[in-house]
Structure 1
């Protein structure tokens, strides 16, 4: 199937899936992009390839690279303890929690959003005003005084609070806001001119509004379902082309040195032995039977936000799918993988 036929097929698939969002699929000189649905349903404004989308936890990788940048600068080390680089008090936390534990979800700190106990992220904001949550420190009342769930290093348990703590570390070590550090050292360095950490009540042009489906084919926006501004555990806005630029910049050592990039990208924790899924500072990855990396995996889920991306290092192929609805990105990504 030639490139034009692939593009036409993917346009059909988007409509069949009732997908709302945009995608990018690229390998060297073959790039296929597309979009479908509305970024603003009320005004009937359609999604475009250059529309900005929220990516929820998909931007935990930006946090990891920000931390690695500070390690590279000699400001901290991966074995630096949490207590040695933040001024906030965590009375029930173990003193031996390290940056490595936080990056690999093995810190054992209480997660402010435990997906095993709470199905819906927007339930968090029923008693805690989301409009005041605009920086890492604003999340602390949700977990700062809770008891540990595990001893550090005991087990992998996906943890949003750990990445809030990493954001605090970046701010206090770099002496600037977390978001400005990421925008300078990652977005600007990679040429991601359409990306940023925007506030829900002050979104720039070409930004998709997130939509949540209710009963009877009715939709509501996600403005009351997310923090006012995203941060270290999720919430950046990107274009699909910008995410492709990110992977190109990362793999060509524009963001970090070659040695540090390899440190960030290597596998560490086994998450699912049956499926050969591992976790590292860069997030999830799939390995083959020889423990070589098949692909890096990014994912993000929030009410009205759905993001999936994969990067295949051996073929240098990158696939990015952003949706401004709660579902749909994974289904389209699997079709793109099959077609390509």
Structure 2
């Protein structure tokens, strides 16, 4: 697979891609590349160990955390949220369950609903993003809004639902959500270069997210919450994301039974595309051929996948708002040719 790197390089130049790519199969063969600037002002290049924001791509960590607590008998998929957080969500339908939140079928209101707000950055015109450092800080943005539809009625992507799952983790463990994920997921996977970092305290070798406007390039520090949480905003390296897939598939994070449950489609989004617990799934003839996560924020684009038939994992991380999808498709086309 190393021999196809020139094709990846040509695609990266064509797409003006800034980020990192890693592909790994069961034989430990790799595509491993990095492009562009992690810090444009200091002229620091992205490298293979650069940490990138992954936006909503880390909802899968939240889902794993919840499933771990279910295995510990601390709650169930059918536990109703009103039993746990009724005082925090006074307008919540009491029939909303953990399963509904995991599958975006709860019907609860969102703090960022793409049907109501087109630009994510517009949220911070009235709410300073630097005040949002924990999940509970987001509650005033949605807790007094009415339900959008009855629980279980349909799929509607919902960030607030995952924030609430993070509050459940904190309630049941006595730890911050971020600390729980680092201890029980990142550390178990050997994801030593990943974390939930504050935008005003980014560690060494972390890519700044960049947005292009009429003047040029600016960082995204004023465009996203200052610290990530249960609905998005973690930072990972390409290698660490592959480690996550390996530990998940090898049943190192969840039991065999729970892993199998985790990998089953739960709700159909459209023909050939379903959602499970924090995961998107592409299927043909009722057979999943791709598990994937993705995330987009101003200055962030991210795609990562696991292809069960080929036992191949892919991570594409970018510190721009586009590019990851295009590079993912290039890699997938190459994988198809290699396996045809």
Corresponding residue for residue 223 of structure 1: 221
Corresponding residue for residue 4 of structure 1: 2
Is 2:253 the counterpart of 1:255? yes
Corresponding residue for residue 338 of structure 2: none
Residues 132-186 of structure 1 show CA distances to partners (whole Å, capped at 9, x for unaligned) of 1011100101001110001101110000010011000000011110000000110
- Alignment partner of 2:78: what SS? coil
Q: 1:337 aligns with which of 306, 314, 332?
A: 332
Corresponding residue for residue 78 of structure 1: 77
- 1:195-274 equivalences under 5 Å are 195-215=194-214, 218-273=216-271
Does the 8 Å CA contact 1:104/1:281 hold for their aligned counterparts?
yes
Is 2:279 the counterpart of 1:283? yes
With structure 1 as the length reference, what TM-score do the two structures score?
Answer: 0.97
Per the TM alignment, residue 88 of structure 1 is displaced from its structure 2 partner at its CA by 3.5
Per the TM alignment, residue 79 of structure 1 is displaced from its structure 2 partner at its CA by 0.5
- Alignment partner of 1:22: what SS? strand
Corresponding residue for residue 113 of structure 1: 112
Q: Distance in 2 between matches of 1:89 and 1:230?
A: 20
Corresponding residue for residue 155 of structure 1: 154
Corresponding residue for residue 306 of structure 1: 301
- Alignment partner of 1:261: what SS? helix
Per the TM alignment, residue 318 of structure 1 is displaced from its structure 2 partner at its CA by 0.8
Does the 8 Å CA contact 2:262/2:277 hold for their aligned counterparts?
yes
- Alignment partner of 1:260: what SS? helix
Residues 71-117 of structure 1 show CA distances to partners (whole Å, capped at 9, x for unaligned) of 00111101011111236432211111100000000100001101122
Q: Distance in 2 between matches of 1:329 and 1:96?
A: 38
Q: Distance in 1 between matches of 2:79 and 2:2?
A: 51
Q: Distance in 2 between matches of 1:336 and 1:263?
A: 28
Task: Extract unaligned runs of 5+ from structure 2.
Answer: 336-340
Task: Extract unaligned runs of 5+ from structure 1.
Answer: none
Per the TM alignment, residue 4 of structure 1 is displaced from its structure 2 partner at its CA by 3.4
- 1:292-331 equivalences under 5 Å are 292-331=287-326
CA RMSD of aligned residues (A): 1.0
- 1:186-197 equivalences under 5 Å are 186-197=185-196
Is 2:15 the counterpart of 1:20? no
Q: Distance in 2 between matches of 1:7 and 1:102?
A: 40
Does the 8 Å CA contact 1:265/1:282 hold for their aligned counterparts?
no
Q: Distance in 1 between matches of 2:188 and 2:98?
A: 24
Q: Distance in 2 between matches of 1:94 and 1:282?
A: 22
Per the TM alignment, residue 282 of structure 1 is displaced from its structure 2 partner at its CA by 3.5
Does the 8 Å CA contact 2:2/2:30 hold for their aligned counterparts?
no
Corresponding residue for residue 36 of structure 2: 37
Q: Distance in 2 between matches of 1:297 and 1:50?
A: 22
Runs of 4 or more off by more than 4 Å in structure 1? none
- 1:169-180 equivalences under 5 Å are 169-180=168-179
Residues 173-200 of structure 1 show CA distances to partners (whole Å, capped at 9, x for unaligned) of 1111000000011000000000000000
